[in-house]
Amino acid sequence: MFKKVAPYIGEYKKYTVWAAVLMSLGIVANVVPYFFLYQIISPLTRGEHIDLAFVMIRVLAVAVCEILFAILYVKGLEFSHISAYNTLKNLRISLQGKLEKQPLGNIQNLGTGRIKKIFTDDIDQIELLLAHAIPEGIANIFIPVLIILLMFIMDWRLGLLSLVPLVLGMFAMGMMMKSGFEKMNDYYESAAKMNNTIIEYVNGMEVVKVFNKDGDSYKRFGEVVRNYRDFTIAWYKVCWPWMAAYASILPCLALLVLPVGSWMVLAGTMTLDKLILVLCMSFAVGPSFLKALNFAGKFPQLDYKISELEKLMEHPPLKEGQNGFTGADRNILFENVRFGYGDEEILHGVSMELKQGTTTALVGESGSGKSTLAKLLVHYYDLDGGAIRIGGQDITDMSLEALNEQVAYVAQEQFLFNTTLYENIRIGKPDAGREEILAAAHRAQCDEFLERLPDGIETKAGDSGKQLSGGERQRISLARAIIKDAPIIVLDEATAFMDPENEEKLNAAIDEIVKDKTVLVIAHRLSTVKNADKICVMKEGQCIADGRHEELLTDCPEYKKFWDASVSASTWKIKEA
């Protein structure tokens, strides 16, 4: 467990050590009053006279000890929380670094609910373990061990008797941990699944309502919530009996010491004051030992939680070099590219070349691998085979930052942050001035809708950009790409939200982006790509033909079928009754 925590504590380890030391001293101060109590009771058992001053000094000493306990323990907690929260900071930063280098597909598979649970709920729960379990656990186990050694020194027989409840209590604790760990994984899995489902349920509420899927959606929601309830109750059911057993036995060190010790006093083999001292010490051992063992049960949880957090991020990071862009030009070469999601291969040895300054379009049925090729160019995933080169340089040879400087990617659904439209455009070039950003918005044909927004370009986009229509969000993302001014442009269904009113504006915005660029464009509307310098026809993960529009109409039956379907669809009309 300490090996798991150590890499994240770093320089704050000293705070944890000081916390344990101060808490240990605090517990010593809390135990010493039992000895003062013995000093008061012992003379009385021998019939000796004690004056008021003798008693008051010890009462005052008890008060001083309690004050010291409070000061030392609180200071120890202060240090432990400094260490804990900085450890959580380091843990979050470490996980964020790993998450950032994960393939996007792996991140999507985790789900937003699970990722949220990792970075907030799971890590917040570790705080309790770091701030309390480690320093307080160490302090509360150290003092009872010391007191038991003193018991053995006083009388080894009573020392042995005091160990019996401890052994029984520890056995019950061990059984609880063993039984609980068998069901712990199911509990955490059900909690993660519930988080993902709740977030999906809330995000999809609009679709659920529109298509009257309340019953189906609620049924699934109810199932995961009930599963979480059932796994939680099952977990606690196996733990509760053992928990009750050790919680009842551990504080009762006097269970055997009192009757057997009394018999030994009556038999004359032990003095009464010695029995009283051992009993006083036993009262000090029980609560501390119980607290220590309660924390002991948390240590495996800490180990489990950190292991699970790391396991979720253990997917190999993207292959990334440390070099900048050193390519001779912006020619792009897909060389025998093979790729699959999981065990299913999607692309089967695709090879194609995109010449610098030209526009290449990918067409084909849904699922033919068009968008996957586009995402591979911007290095969303690692290839299973083959290579992608820009100007002769493998994209895995350069850093992601260097690759991102070369390529602007505009997808069908661009994410907008819940900040101003101005700031959303500025993401494309963080050091851009206001005039530059306004010019990019103008070139992306955003003026029309910016003028009617209450705060213009300073209007907030809303959660995921929901204050704007699909076409408006698309033009903001195009403005972002314009200001980035990358030499390579990838348009993945960038005209998906095109409507008759905005078609001219969106096409004009795209024309602004692709001037003098190397362009890879994917579109279902063949009319938008018929003038491309080269059109590649994809089918079942392979490029079956390429050429210009006129050539493919003659030489590629598959393309002609797409074109005829596209022309036919463009003439569809709703017949009037």
Same domain, 153 and 263: yes
Q: Give a yes or no: residue 198 inside a domain.
A: no
Same domain, 29 and 124: yes
Q: Could you give the CA distance from residue 436 to residue 93 in angstroms, rounded to a whole number?
A: 33
- Buried b / exposed e along 186-207 (16+ C-beta atoms within 10 A): bbbebbbbbbbbebbbeeeeee
Domain of 293, in residue numbers:
2-184+242-312
Same domain, 298 and 337: no
Q: Give a yes or no: residue 456 inside a domain.
A: yes
Same domain, 435 and 337: yes
Helix axes 156-203, 214-249, angle to 10 degrees: 170
Residue 373, phi then psi, degrees to nearest 5: -60, -45
Same domain, 139 and 287: yes
Q: Give a yes or no: residue 324 inside a domain.
A: no
Segment 457-513, tens digit of pLDDT: 998 888 767 778 777 888 888 888 888 888 998 888 766 555 555 566 666 767 777
Q: Could you give the CA distance from residue 138 to residue 228 in angstroms, rounded to a whole number?
A: 33
* CATH code of the domain in which 530 resides: 3.40.50.300
Same domain, 299 and 367: no
Segment 320-352, tens digit of pLDDT: 888 888 888 889 999 999 998 777 888 999 999
pLDDT band for 393, please (50, 70, 90 cuts): very high
Q: Give a yes or no: residue 225 inside a domain.
A: no
The encoded tokens of residue 328 equal 């001779």
- What pLDDT is recorded for position 230? 79
Find where tokens 């500025």 sit.
426
Report the number of distinct structural domains present in the chain. 2
Instruction: Calculate the average pLDDT of the chain.
Output: 80
Same domain, 308 and 338: no
- Yes or no: say if 252 and 229 are a contact pair by the CB < 8 Å rule: no
One-letter amino acid of 572: W
CA 413 → CA 440, 471, 491, distances in Å?
19, 10, 11
Q: Could you give the CA distance from residue 106 to residue 56 in angstroms, rounded to a whole number?
A: 70
- What pLDDT is recorded for position 574? 47
Same domain, 300 and 351: no
* CATH code of the domain in which 303 resides: 1.20.1560.10
pTM above 0.85, yes or no: no
Q: Which of 52-56, 157-161, 295-299 has the highest mean pLDDT?
A: 52-56
Q: Rounded mean pLDDT of 110-116? A: 69
Which of 279, 312, 345 lies at the terminal end of a domain, its last residue? 312
- What pLDDT is recorded for position 149? 81
| CA-closest candidate to residue 353, choices 536, 488, 487, 524 | 536
- What pLDDT is recorded for position 214? 56
The encoded tokens of residue 222 equal 């109810």
The encoded tokens of residue 309 equal 């957090």
Same domain, 343 and 288: no
Segment 196-222, tens digit of pLDDT: 777 767 666 655 555 555 566 667 777
Same domain, 271 and 353: no
Q: Could you give the CA distance from residue 285 to residue 250 in angstroms, rounded to a whole number?
A: 9
- Yes or no: say if 550 and 388 are a contact pair by the CB < 8 Å rule: no
Distance, CA of 429 to chain centre: 28
Q: Could you give the CA distance from residue 408 to residue 251 in angstroms, rounded to a whole number?
A: 67
Q: Could you give the CA distance from residue 163 to residue 285 in angstroms, rounded to a whole number?
A: 11
Better-scored residue on pLDDT, 34 or 185: 34
**What Rg do the C-alpha atoms of the chain give, in angstroms?**
35
Same domain, 99 and 162: yes
Q: In what order do the strands lie in the sheet with 393-394?
A: 344-354, 332-341, 385-390, 393-394
Q: Give a yes or no: residue 190 inside a domain.
A: no
pLDDT band for 171, please (50, 70, 90 cuts): confident
pLDDT band for 51, please (50, 70, 90 cuts): confident
**Sign of the Cα pseudo-torsion (90, 95, 97, 100, in order):** negative
Q: Could you give the CA distance from residue 576 to residue 574 in angstroms, rounded to a whole number?
A: 6
| CA-closest candidate to residue 80, choices 1, 24, 19, 11 | 19
- What pLDDT is recorded for position 150? 78
- Buried b / exposed e along 46-64 (16+ C-beta atoms within 10 A): eeeeeeeeeeeebeeebee
Q: Which of 308-312, 316-320, 518-522, 527-531 has the lowest mean pLDDT?
A: 308-312
User: What length is written for the chain?
Assistant: 577
Find where tokens 């605090």 sit.
26
